[in-house]
Amino acid sequence: MVVGVAIIGSGIFVSKEHLPAVQVTSSLTLKAIYSRSLSSARNLGSDISSLDLYSNDAGAGRTYQDLLERTDVEAVIIALPILMQPEFIKRALEAGKHVLAEKPIAKDVATATELLEWYEKNINTSKVTFCVAENYRFFDSVIFAREQVEKLGRVLGFNVRLQNMVKLGGRYIETEWRKKPEYQGGFVLDAGIHCIAGLRMLLGPENAPVRVAAFSEQLQNHLPPVDTLNATVKTKSGVTGSFAVSFGTTYDEYELSVACEKGAVYRDRAGTSFEVGIGGAVVVRSEGKQERTEFMNEEFGVKQEVKAWAKALETGLQDPRQKPEEALRDLEMVSWSILFDFCLTNRYASSLKPCCVVESRMDSL
C-alpha cells in the first residue's frame, strides 16, 4: 500500500527534514506541496521539480482547497507557523485527509483544547486520523534511555537542562514569525516543548507531572516575550525534579537525567550544537559502573516519526506517541509554567485549575 501525501509548508524544517523524510519512506509518495507563496515553494529546490505546487498566488485551480479536493492525496503533513496551524488542520480533516501536524499542537492550551474537541465532535476519528509530530519521542537515544529507566527501578528524581544563546542571524530566529512571535513563550514554547516531551517519555505514565511552580524571564531583547524558564515539577508518584530552559544565556548545555533506585540515566548531545542538533548519547551509571552509548545516526528523528506515521496509515493503528492528547499534555506543562504555578492532570485542559500562588498546595484545590 502506497499513500499519496502532500506537504503543507515550505519553511526550513520542511526543506531540511520533512521533504527528505517523505522521499525515503517507501510507503509514501509525494504528490504536491502547498506554500503561502509560489516562490517559497519553488525555493525548496530541484527535488520538487516534478511535483504540483499550490499557493495563494499560484492562480486558478492551485489553492489549498484545490489541493484538498484531490482524490490521490490521502494525507497531509502540515508545517506552518504556529498561529496558522489549527485552521489548516481543520480544513484538511474536513476534507477527509489524514493529518500529521508539526508541534506545538496550537499557540495555547485553550486553542488546542478547542481543536481536539472539534475533531472528536465533527470528524469520524476511526476513519480520519489526526496526529501531532514530536520528533523527541522518536529519537533512538530517548527510546533507549526510557528502556534503561525502566530497568533501574523506582524513579527518585529528574532534571532537564537546555541552555544556550539564540543569536540574531541564526536560521530559525530570522524567520519573521519567530522573530516577532504573536504567541506565548517564543522559543521557550517552540523549542522548549521538545524537552518536555522527552522528559515525559522518560518518566512514563506512572510519573506523569501533576504540579509545576515556575519563573520565566526575557534576558535578551531580541527573544520576546520570554526566553528563559526555570521550574520545579512534581509527579503523581510524589517525585520532584527541575526543568531549566533558556535560549538567552551564555551557558551551553543540554542534559535530561533521571535518578532511579538502582542507578541514574543521562541523555545528552553527542558533541553537537543546538543549531546542528544531530546525534544523542545516553550514559547509564549503576553499581559503580558507567556506560555511554552514542546514537550518531538518529539525526532529528523526523525520518523515524514519518515512517511511524506511514505505518499507522497502512495498518490503521495510530502510534500512541503521535496522538494529539500527548501533544496537549506537552503544551499544558510549558504553557502554564510560563504563566503561573499550575496543577496538571492527565485530562484535557478544561479540567485544570490554576493555583494563584506558589504556596498553594494540592489539598487546597
Look at residue 275 in the predicted model and tell me its pLDDT. Answer: 42
Half-sphere exposure at residue 2, Cβ-oriented, CA atoms within 13 angstroms: 11
Residue 167 sits in a domain of what CATH number?
3.30.360.10
Q: Which of 81, 113, 133 is the last residue of a domain?
A: 133
CA distance linking residue 334 with residue 190, whole number of Å: 10
| 14 and 79 belong to one structural domain | yes
Report if residue 283 sits inside a domain.
Answer: yes
* Mean pLDDT of all residues in 182-203: 93
Look at residue 165 in the predicted model and tell me its pLDDT. Answer: 96
Beta-bridged to residue 289, according to DSSP, are 286
Look at residue 363 in the predicted model and tell me its pLDDT. Answer: 33
Residue 61 sits in a domain of what CATH number?
3.40.50.720
Look at residue 358 in the predicted model and tell me its pLDDT. Answer: 34
Whether 201 contacts 256, CB under 8 Å: no
Report if residue 317 sits inside a domain.
Answer: no
Report if residue 168 sits inside a domain.
Answer: yes
Look at residue 278 in the predicted model and tell me its pLDDT. Answer: 59
Model confidence over 316-339: pLDDT tens digits? 999 999 999 999 999 999 887 876
Q: 187 CB contacts (<8 Å, ≥6 apart)?
A: 166, 173, 178, 223, 227, 247
CA distance linking residue 77 with residue 296, whole number of Å: 26
Rounded to a whole number, what is the distance in angstroms from the first to the last CA of the chain? 51
* Total domains in the fold of the chain: 2
Longest dimension (CA), the chain: 69
Query: Is the pLDDT assigned to residue 299 strictly greater than 70?
Result: yes
Report if residue 269 sits inside a domain.
Answer: yes
Look at residue 204 in the predicted model and tell me its pLDDT. Answer: 96
Look at residue 46 in the predicted model and tell me its pLDDT. Answer: 65
| 193 and 341 belong to one structural domain | yes
Model confidence over 223-234: pLDDT tens digits? 999 999 999 999
| 109 and 170 belong to one structural domain | no
* Mean pLDDT of all residues in 220-244: 95
Report if residue 323 sits inside a domain.
Answer: no
CA distance linking residue 285 with residue 34, whole number of Å: 48
Instruction: Rank 44-53, 84-93, 293-302 by mean pLDDT and report only the highest.
Output: 84-93
Percent residues over pLDDT 70 in the chain: 90
Q: Rounded to two decimals, what is the model's pTM? A: 0.90
pLDDT band at 276 (very low <50, low <70, confident <90, very high): very low
CA distance linking residue 5 with residue 196, whole number of Å: 29
Half-sphere exposure at residue 330, Cβ-oriented, CA atoms within 13 angstroms: 32
| 204 and 168 belong to one structural domain | yes
75-78 vs 3-8, strand pairing mode: parallel
Q: 71 CB contacts (<8 Å, ≥6 apart)?
A: none
CA distance linking residue 58 with residue 283, whole number of Å: 51
Helices 109-122/324-339 angle, 10° precision: 160
Q: Where do we find the cell 540515566?
A: 265
Q: Which of 133, 155, 180 is the last residue of a domain?
A: 133
Model confidence over 58-74: pLDDT tens digits? 889 999 999 999 999 99
Query: Is the pLDDT assigned to residue 220 strictly greater than 50?
Result: yes
| 115 and 165 belong to one structural domain | no
Look at residue 213 in the predicted model and tell me its pLDDT. Answer: 87
Question: 10 Å Cβ neighbour count for 156?
Answer: 14
User: If you write DSSP's letter for every residue of 240-255 in order, what string do you get?
Assistant: EEEEEEESEEEEEEEE
Whole domain around residue 50: which residue ranges?
3-133
Whether 268 contacts 275, CB under 8 Å: no
Report if residue 208 sits inside a domain.
Answer: yes
| 79 and 145 belong to one structural domain | no
pLDDT band at 249 (very low <50, low <70, confident <90, very high): very high
Look at residue 101 in the predicted model and tell me its pLDDT. Answer: 98
As a whole number, the mean pLDDT across the chain is 89
Report if residue 45 sits inside a domain.
Answer: yes
In degrees to the nearest 10, what's the CA dihedral of 313, 314, 319, 323?
Answer: 20
Q: Which of 110, 133, 156 is the last residue of a domain?
A: 133
